[in-house]
Amino acid sequence: MQFNDVYKLLVETRTCHSESDSRADSKLDTLSDIIFGKKHQRQINKIGTDDKLDPNKKFHLGHGLRGINRKTQKFISDVHRNDGSLNSKIEILKNKRGRLACDLQDVDYIVKNYVSDLLADPPTKDKPKELNRTKIKIYYVPDKNIFYLERD
Protein backbone atom coordinates (compact mmCIF):
# COMPACT_ATOMS: atom_id res chain seq x y z
CA MET A 1 0.00 0.00 0.00
CA GLN A 2 1.01 3.50 -0.60
CA PHE A 3 0.80 6.60 1.57
CA ASN A 4 -2.50 7.68 -0.04
CA ASP A 5 -4.15 4.39 0.94
CA VAL A 6 -2.99 4.73 4.56
CA TYR A 7 -4.28 8.31 4.66
CA LYS A 8 -7.69 7.19 3.36
CA LEU A 9 -7.87 4.51 6.10
CA LEU A 10 -7.09 7.11 8.76
CA VAL A 11 -9.85 9.41 7.51
CA GLU A 12 -12.33 6.51 7.41
CA THR A 13 -11.34 5.51 10.95
CA ARG A 14 -12.10 9.00 12.26
CA THR A 15 -15.54 8.98 10.62
CA CYS A 16 -16.27 5.42 11.86
CA HIS A 17 -15.50 6.37 15.46
CA SER A 18 -18.91 7.97 15.77
CA GLU A 19 -20.72 5.05 14.08
CA SER A 20 -19.56 1.95 15.94
CA ASP A 21 -16.49 0.93 17.87
CA SER A 22 -16.16 -2.46 16.17
CA ARG A 23 -15.72 -0.95 12.70
CA ALA A 24 -13.21 1.56 14.02
CA ASP A 25 -11.30 -1.20 15.85
CA SER A 26 -11.09 -3.35 12.74
CA LYS A 27 -9.80 -0.44 10.66
CA LEU A 28 -7.22 0.41 13.33
CA ASP A 29 -6.09 -3.23 13.29
CA THR A 30 -5.58 -3.10 9.52
CA LEU A 31 -3.62 0.16 9.94
CA SER A 32 -1.40 -1.44 12.57
CA ASP A 33 -0.85 -4.38 10.21
CA ILE A 34 0.28 -1.96 7.51
CA ILE A 35 2.49 0.16 9.76
CA PHE A 36 4.08 -2.56 11.90
CA GLY A 37 3.83 -5.46 9.48
CA LYS A 38 2.17 -7.74 12.05
CA LYS A 39 -0.84 -7.81 14.33
CA HIS A 40 -0.35 -6.61 17.83
CA GLN A 41 -2.59 -5.91 20.77
CA ARG A 42 -3.42 -2.30 21.32
CA GLN A 43 -2.75 -1.09 24.82
CA ILE A 44 -4.70 2.13 24.35
CA ASN A 45 -7.59 2.63 26.72
CA LYS A 46 -10.88 3.71 25.25
CA ILE A 47 -11.86 7.33 25.68
CA GLY A 48 -13.54 8.01 29.02
CA THR A 49 -12.14 5.10 31.02
CA ASP A 50 -10.01 5.57 34.09
CA ASP A 51 -6.68 3.91 34.77
CA LYS A 52 -7.73 3.09 38.34
CA LEU A 53 -7.76 -0.45 39.67
CA ASP A 54 -11.02 -2.31 39.52
CA PRO A 55 -12.12 -3.17 43.09
CA ASN A 56 -13.54 -6.49 41.89
CA LYS A 57 -10.18 -7.79 40.65
CA LYS A 58 -8.28 -10.40 42.59
CA PHE A 59 -5.25 -8.42 43.75
CA HIS A 60 -7.00 -5.19 44.65
CA LEU A 61 -6.99 -4.57 48.39
CA GLY A 62 -10.37 -3.10 49.25
CA HIS A 63 -9.97 -0.62 52.05
CA GLY A 64 -12.70 -0.61 54.64
CA LEU A 65 -14.54 -3.65 53.29
CA ARG A 66 -14.91 -5.51 56.55
CA GLY A 67 -18.68 -5.48 56.96
CA ILE A 68 -21.43 -6.81 54.77
CA ASN A 69 -19.71 -5.45 51.63
CA ARG A 70 -16.72 -7.78 51.76
CA LYS A 71 -16.24 -10.47 49.14
CA THR A 72 -16.33 -13.54 51.38
CA GLN A 73 -18.65 -13.56 54.34
CA LYS A 74 -17.28 -15.43 57.32
CA PHE A 75 -20.14 -16.89 59.27
CA ILE A 76 -20.14 -16.85 63.07
CA SER A 77 -20.45 -20.25 64.67
CA ASP A 78 -23.36 -20.93 67.00
CA VAL A 79 -21.06 -21.03 70.03
CA HIS A 80 -20.20 -17.34 69.65
CA ARG A 81 -23.61 -16.02 68.65
CA ASN A 82 -25.88 -14.13 71.01
CA ASP A 83 -28.88 -16.22 71.96
CA GLY A 84 -32.02 -14.14 71.43
CA SER A 85 -34.19 -16.57 73.37
CA LEU A 86 -32.49 -15.76 76.69
CA ASN A 87 -33.50 -12.85 78.90
CA SER A 88 -30.77 -10.22 78.99
CA LYS A 89 -31.50 -9.03 82.55
CA ILE A 90 -31.23 -12.53 83.99
CA GLU A 91 -28.02 -13.17 82.04
CA ILE A 92 -26.50 -9.93 83.39
CA LEU A 93 -27.37 -10.85 86.97
CA LYS A 94 -25.90 -14.35 86.56
CA ASN A 95 -22.46 -12.80 86.14
CA LYS A 96 -22.57 -9.84 88.55
CA ARG A 97 -24.49 -8.52 91.50
CA GLY A 98 -27.15 -5.85 91.39
CA ARG A 99 -30.84 -5.05 91.15
CA LEU A 100 -32.87 -4.57 87.98
CA ALA A 101 -36.54 -3.68 87.40
CA CYS A 102 -38.64 -6.04 85.29
CA ASP A 103 -41.09 -5.08 82.57
CA LEU A 104 -43.99 -7.22 81.32
CA GLN A 105 -41.88 -9.23 78.85
CA ASP A 106 -39.39 -10.11 81.60
CA VAL A 107 -42.20 -11.22 83.93
CA ASP A 108 -43.73 -13.39 81.18
CA TYR A 109 -40.32 -14.98 80.50
CA ILE A 110 -39.83 -15.73 84.22
CA VAL A 111 -43.31 -17.24 84.53
CA LYS A 112 -42.72 -19.50 81.51
CA ASN A 113 -39.20 -20.65 82.44
CA TYR A 114 -38.63 -20.30 86.19
CA VAL A 115 -41.54 -19.58 88.56
CA SER A 116 -44.96 -20.59 87.25
CA ASP A 117 -46.97 -19.32 90.26
CA LEU A 118 -45.37 -15.87 90.29
CA LEU A 119 -48.52 -13.89 89.48
CA ALA A 120 -50.87 -15.99 91.62
CA ASP A 121 -48.81 -15.47 94.78
CA PRO A 122 -46.43 -12.51 94.20
CA PRO A 123 -43.35 -12.62 96.45
CA THR A 124 -42.49 -9.70 98.70
CA LYS A 125 -39.11 -8.25 99.57
CA ASP A 126 -39.23 -10.09 102.92
CA LYS A 127 -40.00 -13.42 101.24
CA PRO A 128 -38.54 -13.37 97.70
CA LYS A 129 -38.59 -16.33 95.34
CA GLU A 130 -35.39 -17.67 93.83
CA LEU A 131 -35.08 -18.42 90.12
CA ASN A 132 -34.12 -22.11 90.28
CA ARG A 133 -30.42 -22.34 91.25
CA THR A 134 -29.28 -19.01 89.76
CA LYS A 135 -29.05 -17.16 93.13
CA ILE A 136 -31.27 -14.47 91.59
CA LYS A 137 -34.28 -13.47 93.66
CA ILE A 138 -37.47 -11.87 92.43
CA TYR A 139 -39.91 -9.85 94.49
CA TYR A 140 -42.83 -7.48 93.98
CA VAL A 141 -43.09 -3.91 95.31
CA PRO A 142 -46.80 -2.99 95.47
CA ASP A 143 -46.16 0.75 96.01
CA LYS A 144 -44.38 1.05 92.65
CA ASN A 145 -46.25 -1.84 90.99
CA ILE A 146 -42.93 -3.32 89.76
CA PHE A 147 -41.16 -6.66 90.00
CA TYR A 148 -37.43 -6.51 90.82
CA LEU A 149 -34.64 -8.99 90.12
CA GLU A 150 -31.84 -8.92 92.68
CA ARG A 151 -28.63 -10.79 93.29
CA ASP A 152 -26.57 -10.22 96.45
User: Is there a domain that residue 120 lies in?
Assistant: yes
Range of the domain at 104: 88-151
User: Is there a domain that residue 63 lies in?
Assistant: no
Question: Running along the chain, 152 residues long, what does each successive block of 10 average in pLDDT?
Answer: 64 59 67 58 45 56 58 72 87 95 95 93 94 94 96 92
Give the strand order in the sheet containing 146-151. Answer: 98-102, 146-151, 137-141, 129-130
pLDDT of residue 112: 94
CB 149 within 8 A of CB 91: no
- pTM for this model (two decimals): 0.49
User: Is there a domain that residue 80 lies in?
Assistant: no
User: Is there a domain that residue 77 lies in?
Assistant: no
pLDDT of residue 81: 77
Tally of structural domains, the chain: 2
pLDDT of residue 148: 97
User: Is there a domain that residue 94 lies in?
Assistant: yes
pLDDT of residue 20: 58
User: Is there a domain that residue 79 lies in?
Assistant: no
Q: Which residues contact 122 (CB under 8 A, 6 or more apart)?
A: 140, 147
